[in-house]
Chain A
């Protein structure tokens, strides 16, 4: 993309996200009615599930960047994988932090080794592995290659997380899918839609920023090395 087109798209996305996040908070805390059984803690749902969607998006970008890097060895593909990895990991952390805070009043425990919780924790650990491999690898290409392979493995966990409740009859709530169209009241559905859009927009913005930064870091590092070598 041409620099000017990128700057304009970035500015538009930034403004849209800056408006959408307060709107999402208002929808979650004011627009959505209080759930009768759980009361206030149910509202955690409006950041917990959109964060899970943002995690899925980050991991999808990680998968695309990882495959592209393994195929082409282009630094831009690695920058994309890195951006997807970090953003996916941050949102996965939010999922794993907000989940137990919801679970304590709902289930009476902070954590249980339920199928969806466990497979989500596995994803978080795989993403952490990718971060550590990049950090401690002997050189940049080795780190990027190992992280790409791990990233593909992490992406394979996403369908498992998605189907975990059905496959292992977990107790995690299932609000979407066939036969569950009325699981949420219309204002709750509206608040959830606004929050999901805002979080996905935020994830796209962060991935765009981080991918540009990661690519700039590599280009700059190579340029500094090139000048060093030219000086002898």
Chain B
């Protein structure tokens, strides 16, 4: 088999794994932001009920 095949797939698979982790980190960040909005909403509701 062409030896460049191994070089190509060695680098490509490494970056696929890495990109997968970055995508997962991005998803966690989106979830974190959603939780923050939820907290803000609850605090606002609480303030409204108290006032």
Contact = CB atoms under 8 A, between A and B. Distances in A.
Interface of A: 38-41, 43-44, 47-48, 51, 86, 90, 93-94, 97-98, 101-102, 104-105, 206, 209-210, 213, 216-217, 220-221, 223-224, 227-228, 230-231
B6 A47 contact: no
Interface in B2-51: 3-4, 6-7, 9-11, 13-14, 17-18, 21, 25, 28-29, 32, 35-36, 38-39, 42-43, 46, 49
B6 A105 contact: yes
Contacts of B3: 38-41, 105
A41 B10 contact: yes
Interface residues of B, number: 25
B17 A93 contact: yes
B6 A40 contact: yes
B14 A47 contact: yes
B39 A47 contact: no
Interface of B: 1, 3-4, 6-7, 9-11, 13-14, 17-18, 21, 25, 28-29, 32, 35-36, 38-39, 42-43, 46, 49
B46 A210 contact: no
A98 B39 contact: no
A48 B10 CA distance: 9
Contacts of B49: 231
27 contacts: A40-B3, A40-B4, A40-B6, A41-B3, A41-B7, A41-B10, A43-B7, A44-B6, A44-B11, A47-B10, A47-B14, A48-B10, A90-B17, A90-B21, A97-B13, A97-B14, A98-B13, A101-B13, A102-B6, A105-B1, A105-B3, A213-B32, A220-B35, A224-B38, A224-B39, A227-B42, A227-B46
